[in-house]
Amino acid sequence: MNEQWISVKSSDGFAIDVFVMRPEVPAKAAVVVGMEIFGVNSHIQEVCKRLAGEGYVAIAPQLFDRIQKNVDMGYSADDVVQGKALKQQAETNLKTEISSDIQACIDWAYDHEGVNKVGMMGFCWGGLNTWRAAQHAQSLWAAICYYGGGMVAENELADKPVAPVLAHFSDSDATTPPDGIATLRERYGEEAVVYEYPAAHGFNCDQRGAYNQGAAEVAWQRSLAFLRMCLQ
């Protein structure tokens, strides 16, 4: 596999840093990976490597670049505080720009990697951004949301997703309460496949105390099957 940091220009000319992992063989599809609030850290890069191992070009944009460059944090209490502060700035001032940055990465994959289809997979805040991309992005063929904090709030459920969605939720996550998950199922049952797991927020990340190997493996296999169905 081949990994590389590149620069992708958004629609307003801003250049965002992007981690790219390519498979050994030419890929027919790409997956944009939406980071958590900790930047494109070792966990997100590992997700990219796993996706490349399945034959996809994986593309992880540094979505805090407009606030702070080179964000790469772990999961300590201090990292959580810093990550939440960065997210607050992004959500307050840069939602439109971040959506444009994601669209730029989707477009870049088509223009520079020769792929036929592009999907997106995001974790935590990246899950929320993936949900928004499913609603509004152009030429997105699949959206996989892992415990997307806030994505089942009423304001986030206002718009119907255009891309097919697979959503993985914790059954004990205060950022995605059960009534919101139920509303998602009821309102968009034809567009979104929803699973809940007996695990905590962050269960996919083996660097976090919330890691749950069983839930992570089941969710990953479901995600791969969804990508095969949507991106083949």
As a whole number of angstroms, the distance between CA 59 and CA 45 comes to 9
Catalytic pick among 101, 201, 205, 230: 201
Residue in 124, 145, 205, 230 annotated catalytic: 124
| 201 in active site | yes
Q: CA 63 to CA 37: how far, in whole Å?
A: 9
The partner residues of 21 in beta bridges, in order of sequence, read 3, 58
Q: Is 136 among the catalytic positions?
A: no
**C-alpha 1: how far from chain center:** 21
CA dist 88 to 35, 54, 95, 162, 227, Å?
Answer: 15, 34, 10, 27, 31
Q: Which of 58, 157, 66 lies closest to 105, judged by CA?
A: 58
Catalytic residue (one of 43, 105, 173, 230): 173
48 is known as an active-site residue:
no
- Calpha distance 80→76 (Å, rounded): 6
Q: Which residues are catalytic?
A: 124, 173, 201
